[in-house]
Structure 1
Amino acid sequence: MSSSLRIRILVSGLVGVVVATLAAVVIPAGPASAHGNVTGPASRNYGCYERWGSKFQDPAMATEDPMCWQAWQANPSAMWNWNGLFREGVAGNHQAAIPDGQLCSAGRTESGRYNAMDTVGDWKAASVGNNFNVRLFDGALHGADYIRVYVTKPGFNPVTTALKWSDLNLVSQIGNTPAAQWQTANGGVQIDVPVALSGRTGRAMVYTIWQASHLDQSYYFCSDVNFSGGSTTPPVTTPPATTPPVTTPPVTTPPVTTPPVTTPPVTTPPPATGACSATYAVGSTWSGGFQGDVTVKAGTSAIKGWTVKLTYPGSQTVQQGWNATVSASGTTVTAANASYNGALSAGATTNFGFIGSGTSSTPAVTCTATV
């Protein structure tokens, strides 16, 4: 055998060994860039990826973070692919699609990839106050038809109890919000959904449903939190002392019914240049609070900006707002457009919302435009 032939055989053998060796090494890929997840307070699988993604084989995880350890052992892909926790074609009937005890795995979606998220135990919990934001990251710029945030009822213990739908209270939500209205972040966009509670302490779970806008695709996220209390109790508990004015709608119903009277001048005749109208709706209510949603519509001419005033008959106060700069003085809430949604073409609409404290009631609404 010639020396050149022996060299070729030797090199060929070495290449085969190298290929075989590489084939035996499983190197986890980086997380997928599409879709999204709740990054604060971190969902269960995003938190495990964030804490251990760079050292997922570290045996210290077993004692320092045992719930993440069992999740990594069950299916590492659930952490590397932390943004695939969704279902398709639910048509908004989330409770029918996801059985009790399987809320964190979205009903054992993706052939059971995320089943370990349902495991009951002492998951790492983020410390939050009674006022906090749920931050949702969207890497594919889907935007949202809506985002709903639930918190478990007082007394629920996630360390010992599997999560059921009946354990949850809806505490905040936002409606249709295109990705263009979200904040640019990390190659995608993110949005904060404000939550305002009262008197909560101890362990709880936050459950978030994100209905993406690009198709009927619903995402589900479990986040573990530890309420450290907060300063929101006084403003939330003051309304009971002032509820009598709120219970006098029979006396104040004329102002409440005046919006239909004030809106026709905006909608029936051809509006003056720069005119706008605003429509108020209640997104949701809970004990001591509510969410207000307002749709702003330009008249027959384009506008450069808008200001909406809502005058309540009672003693409602505003906690937080989005898609507008929201402030309150007495019983009047004033909202001015954000930098990205002030300019509207003729007949175009945009929306904003806010969290209020007190008992929900219908305000008188006016809209003023700038041209």
Structure 2
Amino acid sequence: MTAHTYRRWLSIALSLAIVAALAVVLLTTGLAKVADAHGTTVDPASRNYGCWLRWGSRFQDPVMATEDPMCWQAWQYDTNAMWNWNGLYREGVAGNHQAAVPDGQLCSAGHTQSGRYNAMDTIGDWKAQSIANTFNVKLFDQAGHGADYVYVYVSKPGFNPVTQALKWSDLELVGQKGNTPVSQWTTESAGGWSTLIGASAPGRTGRAMVYTIWQASHMDQSYYFCADVNFGGSSSPSPSTSASASTSPSASTSPSASTSPSASTSPTSSSGTKSCSTAYTVVNQWSGGFQGQVAVTAGGAAISTWKVTMTWPNGQVVTSAWNGTATTAGTVTTVTNASWNGSLAAGAGTTFGFLANSGTTNAPPVFTCAAT
């Protein structure tokens, strides 16, 4: 081998070594970034973890639309929000949570991750877990981050998560844990670590929201979890308290929703001596479909029932609804109240939601609202 050939092969070998070293750096850096997003509250279960736990093995089963409509609309909005139940976080908040997460967006961490978790903010009758007034929140950490701190809040008396969007002013701090390295957490047999945060909300009854903020220790990464609970009532059983890593299925999923949905309002209408009004919002929309929400408000007198009629101008077809019973005939969809939200005091309101198919245009329907 000549000296020139030797130098040429030595140069090639050194280049290959450099490329291999760079590949290792990029691979390990990428894996570290993936491992950043791992954790949620498993008891009471966060909204997206609960939906994954109940329906992950049959997320395309249409029975979900009637048995668990809030999870159904969330799966339809973005399946990845459930498969990635451990990634609901924001970075760089620097402890200023209220500035980073606006009112009405607490459950989606301020529309984090390009709006992936927006459906977590949808108002409605989410499955609620029964808990005692003194309870523990179990936080699961899949990647061993530990915690700088964990705050547990409960919505104040009078707040109804079935009909109201969650705001910071609705919350009361009921439990917290300070700096806790993962070495002080419990090792789970299925993998990962967990810790309990004690909380107490004396005198509370009925529906409420438990809101947890977990500040992970490995970097400025803040996690936000909404859990629906029922103080002293009977509801869905407690979820399992150990979580396994999530993996996306091979089955086809619904298209991603747009992160800038349109909104509109409809005029007041009435029937007889009692009246009701409606306000319509397109919460999310995607190619070929959308998610709508209608607020129903009683007029100047209390009502016992309500019925909303929507006449669609562009061939839209409602495929499922929650917080009301929907029937469709031609271009007209009629929604009547559920058993629990028909009786409204004067000026009081409720909401119902629905999923629908649409074409290239999606103009709002014409509304009528009848009350008895």
Category of TM-score, reference length = shorter chain: 0.5 to 0.7
1:219 aligned partner: 223
1:175 aligned partner: 178
Tell me the CA shift for residue 198 of structure 1: 1.1
2:109 aligned partner: 106
1:263 aligned partner: none
Matches of 1:151 and 1:193 in 2, distance apart? 13
Tell me the CA shift for residue 197 of structure 1: 2.1
Partner SS, residue 209 of structure 1: strand
User: CA deviation digits over 1:101-151, x for unaligned, max 9?
Assistant: 000000000000000000000000000010111000000000000000000
Q: Is the 8 A contact 1:35 1:83 kept in 2?
A: yes
Identical counterparts, % of pairs = 74
The answer as to 2:95 corresponding to 1:92 is: yes
The answer as to 2:177 corresponding to 1:194 is: no
Q: Is the 8 A contact 2:212 2:226 kept in 1?
A: yes
Matches of 1:62 and 1:145 in 2, distance apart? 39
Partner SS, residue 69 of structure 1: helix
Unaligned runs of 5+ in 1: 1-30, 230-371
1:267 aligned partner: none
Q: Is the 8 A contact 1:32 1:80 kept in 2?
A: no
Matches of 2:125 and 2:115 in 1, distance apart? 21
The answer as to 2:212 corresponding to 1:208 is: yes
Letter in 1 for 2:126: W
Matches of 1:33 and 1:67 in 2, distance apart? 28
Matches of 2:177 and 2:80 in 1, distance apart? 31
Partner SS, residue 110 of structure 2: coil
Matches of 1:220 and 1:197 in 2, distance apart? 20
2:125 aligned partner: 122
Tell me the CA shift for residue 96 of structure 1: 0.2
Q: Is the 8 A contact 2:208 2:228 kept in 1?
A: yes
**Structure 1 segment 65-80 matched on structure 2, within 5 A:** 65-80=68-83
Matches of 1:33 and 1:193 in 2, distance apart? 22
Change in 2 beyond 3 A, CA 1:33/1:214: closer
**Structure 1 segment 190-269 matched on structure 2, within 5 A:** 190-228=194-232
Which one of the candidate residues 153, 156, 165 is aligned to 2:156? 153
In terms of fraction of residues, the more helix-rich structure is 1
1:276 aligned partner: none
Partner SS, residue 135 of structure 1: strand
Tell me the CA shift for residue 158 of structure 1: 0.2
Unaligned runs of 5+ in 2: 1-33, 234-372
The answer as to 2:49 corresponding to 1:43 is: no
Matches of 1:113 and 1:196 in 2, distance apart? 32
Q: Is the 8 A contact 2:74 2:120 kept in 1?
A: yes
1:143 aligned partner: 146
Q: Report the aligned-residue RMSD.
A: 1.7
Q: Is the 8 A contact 1:32 1:81 kept in 2?
A: no
Tell me the CA shift for residue 199 of structure 1: 1.0
Matches of 1:197 and 1:104 in 2, distance apart? 20
Partner SS, residue 38 of structure 1: strand
User: CA deviation digits over 1:12-54, x for unaligned, max 9?
Assistant: xxxxxxxxxxxxxxxxxxx989510000000000000000000
Tell me the CA shift for residue 180 of structure 1: 0.4
Partner SS, residue 148 of structure 1: strand
Q: Is the 8 A contact 2:37 2:89 kept in 1?
A: no
Q: Is the 8 A contact 1:41 1:126 kept in 2?
A: yes
Change in 2 beyond 3 A, CA 1:32/1:72: farther
Partner SS, residue 214 of structure 1: coil
Aligned residues: 200
2:167 aligned partner: 164
Letter in 2 for 1:146: Y
Question: Where does structure 1 differ by over 4 angstroms across 4 or more consecutive aligned residues?
Answer: 31-34
Matches of 1:33 and 1:80 in 2, distance apart? 16
1:344 aligned partner: none
Q: Is the 8 A contact 1:149 1:170 kept in 2?
A: yes
Letter in 2 for 1:86: Y
- TM-score between both structures, scaled by the size of structure 2: 0.53
Letter in 2 for 1:156: F
Q: Is the 8 A contact 2:70 2:126 kept in 1?
A: yes
Q: Is the 8 A contact 2:105 2:121 kept in 1?
A: yes
Letter in 2 for 1:191: T
Matches of 1:206 and 1:95 in 2, distance apart? 16
State which structure, 1 or 2, has the greater radius of gyration over its C-alpha atoms.
1
Q: Is the 8 A contact 1:140 1:188 kept in 2?
A: yes
